[in-house]
Amino acid sequence: MKTDSLFYNLFHDLPRLLFDFIEQSPERAARYRFASVELKETAFRVDGVFLPPEAAADWPIFFVEVQFQSDPALYRRLFAEIFLYLRQQAPPHPWQAVVVYPTRAVDPGEHPHYNLLLRSDQVTRVYLDEWAYPRQTLMQRLIGVLLANPQQAVSEARTMLTLVGENAVVDKGLTTTIVNLIETILVYKLPTLSREEIQAMLELTDVDLKQTRFYQQVFAEGHQEGHQEGHQEGRREEGMALVLRLLHRRCGELSPALAERMARLSLPQLEALSEALLEFRGTADLEQWLATHSRE
């Protein structure tokens, strides 16, 4: 399993995970930009960088390294990349490094060249088996799915999805993001199964999303009158985000032409599409629906 790639997907879709790792408030997470940065005139690429807003000069840049296999040269490479980045980019921000291991056994340990850094507040080492125990928060349960063996992972995923549904944990589509990430983790852990087979094992359908508070806030309120235009536009954008996620699960990546046609849909049309797409089997169904309804 390509765990590093999977983790970078997690960080991209759920940036608050990093702030949970380092026990900092996740309130700033949405304002950070997760990026891969290529360093000029070298073979180095820093894959996991959380970049703060340029105006927030006192917010740190976070360099994130995920290491699931033993690498005695890890710190030599990591700190070389960090200081080369600082030399080339000359950012005004302070910096912190976060190194994520599955267990302490994978950590190469202290090194006489880097002990001062490793013992400082600028470097945080996270051992997932310790961090995710006991399973109390959503983030700990998500990592629990990743750490479990394939058979246990399905059970862990079912438990997490049940808790999400019972507690109606929704924050700007958080439920949809968690569902997609759980599916992605299981796709990595169970490579011989299709996404549809994994959904069946989880007893998960797209209809479940219609029961979430986010879905109801986006679409059910559309039947009420007296909303301001700005609020309507905000809900249209949220509805578009939800529909695009559902379509991605049904139809895969949309072409630019289809995405452009969808961008012109109104909130009532998005609501109608959210109902219809549950029966879609591919992009042909979407194209037919748009041809019929986009003129309304």
> What are 25-48's pLDDT values in tens digits?
888 998 999 888 877 665 566 778
> Given this model, what pLDDT does residue 151 score?
83
> Which of 131, 147, 170 is the last residue in one of the domains?
131
| Domain annotation covers residue 247 | no
Distance CA 44, CA 38 (A): 6
Q: How far is CA 253 from the centre of its chain?
A: 17
| Domain annotation covers residue 115 | yes
Q: Which of 9, 19, 21, 22 is nearest to 48 (CA)?
A: 9
> What are 65-107's pLDDT values in tens digits?
999 999 999 999 999 999 999 999 999 999 999 999 999 999 9
> Given this model, what pLDDT does residue 102 score?
94
Residue 124 shares a structural domain with residue 19: yes
Residue 122 shares a structural domain with residue 137: no
Whether 247 contacts 240, CB under 8 Å: no
Q: Which of 174, 168, 164 is nearest to 202 (CA)?
A: 164
Residue 178 shares a structural domain with residue 122: no
Distance CA 132, CA 135 (A): 6
| Strand-by-strand arrangement of the 95-101 sheet | 33-38, 45-51, 61-66, 95-101, 123-127
> Given this model, what pLDDT does residue 259 score?
83
Distance CA 152, CA 155 (A): 5
How many structural domains is the chain composed of?
A: 2
| Domain annotation covers residue 277 | no
> What are the distances in angstroms from CA 109 to CA 25, 74, 106, 178, 277?
28, 10, 9, 33, 52
Residue 14 shares a structural domain with residue 104: yes
| Domain annotation covers residue 25 | yes
Whether 199 contacts 205, CB under 8 Å: yes
This prediction has a pTM of: 0.68
Domain enclosing residue 88, as ranges? 3-131
105's CB contacts (< 8 A; 6+ apart) are none
Distance CA 42, CA 156 (A): 42
Q: What is the DSSP letter of 60?
A: P
Distance CA 165, CA 213 (A): 10
Distance CA 204, CA 275 (A): 17
| Domain annotation covers residue 108 | yes
Per-residue pLDDT of the chain (296 residues; tens, 9 = 90+): 456 778 888 888 889 999 999 999 888 998 999 888 877 665 566 778 999 999 999 999 999 999 999 999 999 999 999 999 999 999 999 999 999 999 999 999 999 999 999 999 999 999 999 999 998 888 999 999 999 998 899 999 988 888 877 665 555 567 778 888 888 888 888 888 876 788 778 876 655 555 555 556 556 545 444 445 555 666 677 778 778 877 776 677 778 888 888 888 888 888 888 777 767 777 888 888 888 876 55
Phi, psi of 127 (to 5 degrees): -110, 110
| Domain annotation covers residue 237 | no
> What are the distances in angstroms from CA 234 to CA 210, 225, 228, 229?
19, 15, 10, 9
Residue 116 shares a structural domain with residue 151: no
> What are the distances in angstroms from CA 231 to CA 172, 237, 254?
14, 10, 27
Residue 31 shares a structural domain with residue 98: yes
Whether 31 contacts 71, CB under 8 Å: no
Q: What b-and-e string marks burial along 124-145, b requiring 16 or more CB atoms within 10 Å of the CB?
A: bebbbeeebeebeebbbbbbbb
134 upstream amide cis, omega within 30 of 0? yes
Residue 169 shares a structural domain with residue 68: no
Residue with tokens 């246990």: 152
> Which of 103, 131, 159 is the last residue in one of the domains?
131
Whether 236 contacts 261, CB under 8 Å: no
Distance CA 224, CA 215 (A): 15
